[in-house]
């Protein structure tokens, strides 16, 4: 597995919505490359026949009944919002489209 490049970090930061300055990229890229190389060994050990574990304790069918619980009051829902307007969360202009 080849090491992580600075350009990879730049692309990943964009995907993760974190602005990075050149200085950030310089600092973090080197550290990340070391970490990526170190963790790549996970691919060495387990064969095709080993199943993946996503939950440490296997459970299934944990569902809740379709019964209404109280919601938050509108002012409580909006209390921590950086900006609110007309009972809604206000955000700056959205450029992208619906996914």
Partner 1 sequence: MAGLTYEKALEQFDPVFGIEVHVELNTATKMFCGCANQFGAEPNTQVCPVCLGLPGSMPVVNEKAVESAIRLGLSLGCSIRDSSRFARKNYFYPDVSKNYQISQYDEPTCFEGSLDVVLDDGEVVTVGIERAHMEEDAGKNTHVGGTGGIQGASHSLVDYNRGGVPLVEIVTHPIQGTGERVAEVARAYVATIRDIVKALDISDGRMEQGSVRADVNLSLRPKAAAGEDQAAVPFGKRSETKNVNSLRAIERAIHHEVVRQAELLLAGEPVVQETRHWHEDTGSTTPGRSKEQAEDYRYFPEPDLLPVEPSRDWVEELRGTIPEHPAKMRARLKDAWGFSDTDMRDAINADALDLIAASVEAGAKPQAARKWWMGELARTANDRGVTLRDLAVTPAHIAELQSLIDEGKINDKLARQALEGVLAGEGSPSEVVSSRGLEVVSDDSALEAAVDEALASQPDVLAKIQDGKVQAAGAIVGAVMKATRGQADAGRVREIILQRAGVEG
Partner 2 sequence: MTDWTRASAADMAAAMQRGEVSSVELTQAHLDRIAGVDGDVHAFLHIDAEGALATARAVDEARANGEDLPALAGVPIAVKDVLVTEGLPTTAGSRILEGWIPPYDGTVTRKLREARMPILGKTNMDEFAMGSSTEHSGYGATHNPWDLDRIPGGSGGGSAAALAAFEAPLAIGSDTGGSIRQPASVTATVGVKPTYGGVSRYGAIALASSLDQLGPCARTVLDTALLHEVMGGHDDMDATSLDEPVPAVVDAARDGARRDLSGVRVGVIKELSGAEGGFQDGVKQRFDEALEHLRAMGAEIVEVSCPSFEYALAAYYVILPSEASSNLAKFDSVRFGMRVEKGNVERTMAATRAEGFGDEVKRRIILGTYALSAGYYDAYYGSAQKVRTLVQRDFDAAFAEVDVLVSPTTPTTPFKLGERVDDPMAMYLNDIATIPANLAGIPGMSLPAGTAPEDGLPVGFQILAPAREDARLYRVGAALEAALVDEWGGALTAQAPELEVK
Which range of residues in 1-9, 22-30, 42-50, 78-86 is near partner 1 by CB under 8 A? Answer: 78-86
* Position among 12, 26, 74, 85 found at the interface with partner 2 (CB under 8 A): 12
Residue closer to partner 2 by CB (options 55, 68) is 55
* Position among 2, 23, 51, 87 found at the interface with partner 2 (CB under 8 A): 51
Contact call for residue 69 and partner 1 (CB under 8 A) = yes
CB of 70 to partner 1, least distance (A): 8
Residue 96 DSSP symbol? S
User: Could you write out the DSSP letters of every residue in 2-57?
Assistant: PPPPHHHHHHHHHHTT----HHHHHHHHHHHHHHHHHHTTHHHH--TTSPP-SSSS
The backbone torsions φ and ψ at residue 74, rounded to the nearest 5 degrees and listed phi first, read -55, -40
């Amino acid at each position: 597995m080849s090491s992580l490049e600075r350009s990879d970090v730049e692309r990943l930061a964009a995907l993760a919505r974190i602005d990075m300055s050149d200085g950030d990229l310089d600092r973090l890229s080197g550290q990340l490359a070391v970490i990526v190389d170190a963790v790549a060994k996970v691919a060495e050990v387990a064969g095709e026949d080993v199943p993946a574990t996503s939950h440490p304790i296997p459970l299934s069918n944990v569902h809740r009944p379709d019964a209404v619980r109280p919601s938050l009051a509108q002012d409580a829902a909006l209390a921590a919002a950086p900006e609110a307007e007309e009972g809604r969360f206000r955000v700056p202009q959205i450029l992208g489209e619906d996914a």
